[in-house]
């Protein structure tokens, strides 16, 4: 019984760690998306100021060029994070399934203990009556 309880606590801890990882990845994805959108806005403003929107033009603004590179790097990181998020969600689902299995085994064990205790309690009054 003690080892089953320890197993359930371990599975609960593992599932919680996986849940935290999923939340962390979601936070990073939303932050990177926000930063990318802001860079898009800044690029657009810089292009409007210079009245040049062709990145290959010799007079294209340096800041807009650097912002494009940074935005492209963020978008590549976003794609990588989305892949990691899919993996983390699959791991979370597996951890939750393992936790549910461990909890059901623990409940089944507790049920068996209750049945044994009920049998003992049912037999005790008879034993006391016989001894008297």
Q: How far apart are CA 132 and CA 130, in angstroms?
A: 6
pTM of the model: 0.75
> In the chain, how many domains are there?
1
Give the model's pLDDT for residue 117.
Answer: 59
In a domain, 120, yes or no: no
Two structure tokens written together for 46:
């810089």
In a domain, 121, yes or no: no
- Where in the sequence is the domain holding 89, given as residue range(s)? 2-102
Give the model's pLDDT for residue 69.
Answer: 97
Counting as low any pLDDT under 70, the low residues of the chain are 1-2, 113-132
In a domain, 85, yes or no: yes
In a domain, 130, yes or no: no
In a domain, 11, yes or no: yes
**Three-class HEC string of the chain:** CHHHHHHHHHHHHHHHHHHHHHHHHHHHHHHHHHHHHHHHHHHHHHHHHHCCCCCCCCCCCHHHHHHHHHHHHHHHHHHHHHHHHHHHHHHHHHHHHHHHHHHHHHHHHHHHHHHHHHHHHHHHHHHHHHHC
Residue in this structure with the two tokens 């912002």, named with its chain if needed: 67
| Per-residue pLDDT reduced to its tens digit, 23-39 | 999 999 999 999 999 99
Give the model's pLDDT for residue 132.
Answer: 46
In a domain, 111, yes or no: no
Q: How far apart are CA 53 and CA 45, in angstroms?
A: 10
In a domain, 94, yes or no: yes
In a domain, 43, yes or no: yes
């Amino acid at each position: 019984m003690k080892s089953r309880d320890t197993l359930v606590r371990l599975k609960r801890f593992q599932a919680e760690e996986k849940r935290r990882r999923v939340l962390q990845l979601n936070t990073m994805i939303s932050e990177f998306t926000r930063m990318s959108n802001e860079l898009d806005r800044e690029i657009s403003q810089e292009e409007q100021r210079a009245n040049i929107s062709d990145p290959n033009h010799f007079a294209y603004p340096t800041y807009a060029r650097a912002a494009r590179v940074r935005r492209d790097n963020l978008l590549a990181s976003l794609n990588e994070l989305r892949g990691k998020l899919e993996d983390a969600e699959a791991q979370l689902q597996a951890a939750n399934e393992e936790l549910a299995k461990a909890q059901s085994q623990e409940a089944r064990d507790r049920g068996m203990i209750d049945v044994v205790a009920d049998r003992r309690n049912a037999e005790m009054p008879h034993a006391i009556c016989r001894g008297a």
